[in-house]
Every structure is written in C-alpha cells, then in structure tokens.
Structure 1
Amino acid sequence: MKAWPVVPLRSVLRTYIDAVPSNQLDTVNLAGVYGFGRGLFQRGPISPLDTTYKSFHRLNAGDFVISSPKAWEGAVARIPEEFDGWFLSSVFPTFRANSEALDTRFLDWYCKRDAVWRQLQGKAKGMGARRESVSPDQFLSLEIPLPPLPEQQALVARLDALAEKTRQVEAHLEAAERDAERLLRAYIFHPPGEQPAKRPMSELVSQRQPDVIVDRTAQYRFAGVYSFGRGVFPSVVKTGSEFAYERLSTVRAGDFTYPKLMAWEGALGVVPPECDGMVVSPEFPVFSINTDEVLPELLDIYFRTPEVWPELAELSGGTNVRRRRLQPSAFLTYEIPVPSMATQLKLREVFRRTQALKAKHAAIRQANAALLPATLERLFAGSA
C-alpha cells in the first residue's frame, strides 16, 4: 500500500461550536457519546431549567464531536443524520471538516482504534486518570495519515460493508439461539402429546441450611446470580473479616439458588460446574433438587423465562419495589408445570445440544468482534 501523507488534524478540521443559550430553549433532546468508539446515544428530552448549563452545543449531521473528559477512552464520533438538531453540554466540543479534503466518515473509522485513544491520553491534561481532559486544540494537534478524498470514500464504503456483514453474522447467531430457547421452553409449557400438571416447588426441591461457620481469617470464594435470567456465576473472593455473616452456605453443581432481594427480576438459577464448592451468603437460599421428579435443566430453563418473573414479583414481600424479597417459604409454594420424565429427558438432550451450539457461537462471536479492529489496524497502522 502506498504511504499516505501524515497531516495535523487542524489542517483539515476546525472547531465549530453551534452554541445555543439555555434561556432560548424550552426543552433539549440531550445526546451522549459512548466510550471505545461506539458512537452517540440518546439520553432523551430534558428541561434546561433542570441544569446549570448556560448554553448547549447543537449537533449538526456530518460534524465531529468529542467528549473532552473521555476522549482519551474513545468518546469521539461523527454525528450521524439521526442526531441532527440534538444537543450536548459544553464539555462536548464539535468540529467541522474541510469537505474537499476530509470525509468525517473516514475520520470516524480512524478514531475507532485504541492506538488513537492512547495518543489522546498522552495529550490529555488533568489530575488523575479519571480527570484527564482533551481540549479542542489538543484534539486538532492529532496527526493522521490522509489519503485523497476519493480513496477515503472508497475505504469508508469497504469498512461500512464489512461492519454490516459482522452485524448480520451477530443477528444470525442471535436468531438461532432464540429459536433454540423457544424450542426448549416448548418442552415445558407446550410438550407434544401431554398437558403437564403444575406442582409446588416443595415437591421438587429441598432447602439446605447454611453449613459453613465463618472463620474471620479464612478466604471464601463466593458465587453470585445475575439478574434477567443470566444464571449463576463465580463472584468475588473475600476474607471472613470483610463481612458480618456468621454462617455461609456451600453450593454444589446442580443445586438451585437465588438472592432473596433480586429473584423477582430473574436472578435465579442452577449452579454450574464452575461454581461447585463455592459459598453464598444466607441471603441466598440453597436448594437440593429432587432429580427423581425434575431435572435441573428444566428448572434452569423455566426460571430464565422472562414471563415467569412477574409471578415471582407477586410472591415477593416488601413495601418498596427495589426491596422486595422472595422468601423460601413463598418460593416453595410456587407451582410450575412438570412434564413427564420422558419429555424432560428429551429436553435435557436438546439443552445439551443448545449449550454446544452456544459454545460454537461464542468462538464465532469472538472472531467476528476481532475482525473490524484487525482490519482497521491493517489499513491505518502501516499507512503513514
């Protein structure tokens, strides 16, 4: 590839602030700028009276914007058409290109690289990593390799096409996984040829009491449970002196657990092998599963289903929505459909195939996510 001339950004880009006094605005559609080259996002309408800003920066499609406090971690972006006329606060300077020399879409792609963010960090001023700030002059002092405008536009077209392909791959993977999850849930809610009877959880699981007496000098590896059906995961390691609980509960692979406080928003799950032998606090009731009656896979799939969570919310006591607790006594009265063991065994087989599929998808996602950054490095790193 022919080397491109390296030019200071200020030779093709200038600061262009479209400031509007707050007292001239009744309402403001406020935007934000994501870090790590992920573009703009919508915060929504606000009243200028609810802020201390004397003015707002109006956004114009095709211009470029940076977050002065966060530019060094990739909060820089081209303003797309859908944000034309939106606003940002005064810590977001905006810039306009010489359209005969620079296509801001090219600059946008160039600035999605962590090598650029490191350069901006080197220019940033302030006290402490979280207070570093990039001024307009510091941003404009950035030197970039700049091909002729037609070549910029051709590169943008290639990169846009590649980005669309990676998006399509991700959408395909997500669709396949949604279909697999629908099939799994059909074995519980609509199994072919049978109408499963509802049974209380008290017939399917047994609560175990805390079995670990805390040693204040010992270390404990905790398990946690994500909300929104994302399951049980390895969490923090703490010394006994770091918490007040006198007892903890050991969890074993195949157990069922949930945090009382967050169960109503889908924080329930079966303990996976990687969490075997970890501990949870007394705020996490732990249950052994009666596998003669129900397979762990059925419980895991059922309680990851979003339509189930409102029912758990109704069982959860508390005066404040964020303080609701699902007590074990209430949970054990909850009834779920339990199909025949033959159907459950079919569900288990489909579940295992689905897990294998997701593992393959994870590898594809990793490669897919690395494709654009690698392409950008090949295009720009050796182009100067």
Structure 2
Amino acid sequence: MIEFFIKNNFYANLGLGDVQEKVMEGKRLSREDGLRLFECDEPLAVGTLAHHVRTRMHGRKTYHVVNQHINYTNVCVNGCVFCAYQREDESRTGAFTLSMADVAAKLDANAAEPNEIHIVGGCHPTLPLSYYEELLALVRERLPHTVIKSFTVTEIAHFASLAKLSTAEVLTRLRTAGLDMLTGGGAEIFDPEIRQQICPRKIDADEWLRIHGEAHAMGIRTNCTMLYGHLESREHRVDHLIRLREQQDASGGFTCFIPLPFLTENSKLKVPSPLTGLEQLRTIAISRLMLDNISHIKSYWIMLGVKVAQAALKFGADDFDGTVVEEKIGHEAGADSAQSMSVQELEGMIRGCGMEPVRRDAQFNEV
C-alpha cells in the first residue's frame, strides 16, 4: 500500500513528503515530525508508514506469550487520581494483600507453565522488602525456567524508601531473589504539570528514567509505557516518546513499549473527550515511528479491547501480549475484555489479521 501512496504523491499532498522520505530511508523523526503526524487528517496514511517500519523490523511476525499476571496488593500510598485499582488502606472495601499461600495457589491453579510471570501491585505502606524477596523466591522455586518480570520503578523507589536503601541496593537484592526484568508501568505522562494533576505523589519523570537506566546498567532489561487520553496534549505524548528514545540511546535496556489508553469508566478523573479507536491507533502508529531504537510495540488487548488490538497490528504494533490468566488493574479501571485468552485464541486473532504468530518469553526470545 505504501508504494501506491508514494506513487500517487499521497504524502506530498498531505505535506508529509519529507517525513515519508525519512521513514523510507530509516532516518530519525524529529519532535516537529511527530507533531505533524498527529495533526495529519488521514490516520491511514500515518498507520501505513508505521506498518512499513513494523514490517521492515519484524516481517509478518507477531509475538505472543503464555504469561500469568499476579497483582499482589491494591493497597497503595500514591492515590493517583486516575486509578480505580488503589485502596488507601487495608480497611477499605475491596482491599487485599496476597499471602505467600495465596500466590502459591494462583501459580498452582494454572495448568500451563507460563513463559513469563508479570508481578505488580500498589505501593503498600508497611510491607517489608523481605515480603517481595519471599514472593520472588516462591515463584522461582515453582517455575525455575520462567522469566519473572516484576515491579514498576515506582514500586522499586517505594521499597527503597521504606527500607532506607538505595534503589540499586533494592534491585540487587530482588535480582538475587529471582527478579529477571522490570515492568514498564508508572511512567504515565512525563510532563510535570500533568503529573501534578494526575499522580502528584509518584516519583517524577527524571527519577523514573534514572531508575530504568540504573537497572539497564546492571543488566536488568525493562519495558516502558505511556498512559494517554486523559489531560495530556498530543505535544505531551510526543515529548514523552522522545524522552524514552533519549533514555534508550543512553542505556539501551528497553525491550518493549506499551501504549496504554486511559479508561474512563471507573476513574475519578473525568475527561471531556474520551479516546476514539482511531486516536488509539494513531498514537500506536506514531509510537512505532518515533521509537526507532525500541524493538517492540505492544498491542495490549486487555486495555485496547481485542478488535482495536487486532487493528493495531496493522498500525505498527508487533506484540499481542499473552494469555494473562487474571488481570485486575485494567479491569478495575473499566476494561471489558476477557480476563484471559488461550494460546489457540491468541494465535487465531493474529492469523485473522494476516500475521504469523510467534510464541516468545518476556525477553522476546522465541519459544
């Protein structure tokens, strides 16, 4: 399709001829280029460029993983305005904190051995670092060959504060206990004014990026995210992507970028214009085009919904996430997707888009 567009001067007529040339030549896009792509009236034109890059990098391969999510607590001191998952303390309705027996039961209930365990939770006010070490050791004992991808750097900073340790010391202890990778959550939007409105108690963007860089220097790979569709502007999204790109230039440890659409249903944060499916696809496409040094873009079906997630595979995304088993954070926010999918369902969804399903682990090693 892109050859047809170029032959018929489609991008030149949209005022994007120079952007199209950069993409075809593999050159880096500028901040201004990103903004122009957001302003383009033809989202299919943007998506076609992103699909070209995705195909150049991965062909028709679309990755998926047999994984299991474990959310160990929803008690959290941060009180982010957008979050429907958080409870202020253990006395609140719906509050929970898993015991080691609870975690073991969840692991034992899963018939298929996962290639990835994804562990995140709230920043609990009193749980000691030993709780998280025991949690990782338990998972490692039961699943010695599974990649354990655990905790956001927001959680790492919180653990360090409670334990009166540096974040590097916390990462070292958790890696000894079984940690392989960090998740990418807590980035939200990097702009300080927006963060002050939606997550004022969270670590700021500089600290978020610093801890990821610290993990990368220790050989711990991480993912990265962006929460979009709330109070931020398109300019804020482009700035966020550029700061991630700069961090990747510096430390090189980001494996996958996950664009997360803000779900309004159960949030205290109300927005005048909820995201459309086209705006979600446009944002995914521009993420692929701007993040030239991050290999993978996730189409997170839990929060996008399956149909938009399938479409995203033609708008730059190359990863469809996984089986999940049980997910609480997105569903508390209002996600109406299923709690889990079988491998057969995942592969059917991928093949239905004309793509080739490839099973992976958390570090994108093919299984």
Q: Tell me whether the two structures share a fold, i.e. TM-score over 0.5.
A: no
Higher relative contact order (CA 8 A, sep 6+): 2
> Higher helix fraction: Structure 1 or Structure 2?
2
TM range (shorter): under 0.3
Q: TM-score w.r.t. structure 2 length?
A: 0.19
Q: TM-score w.r.t. structure 1 length?
A: 0.18
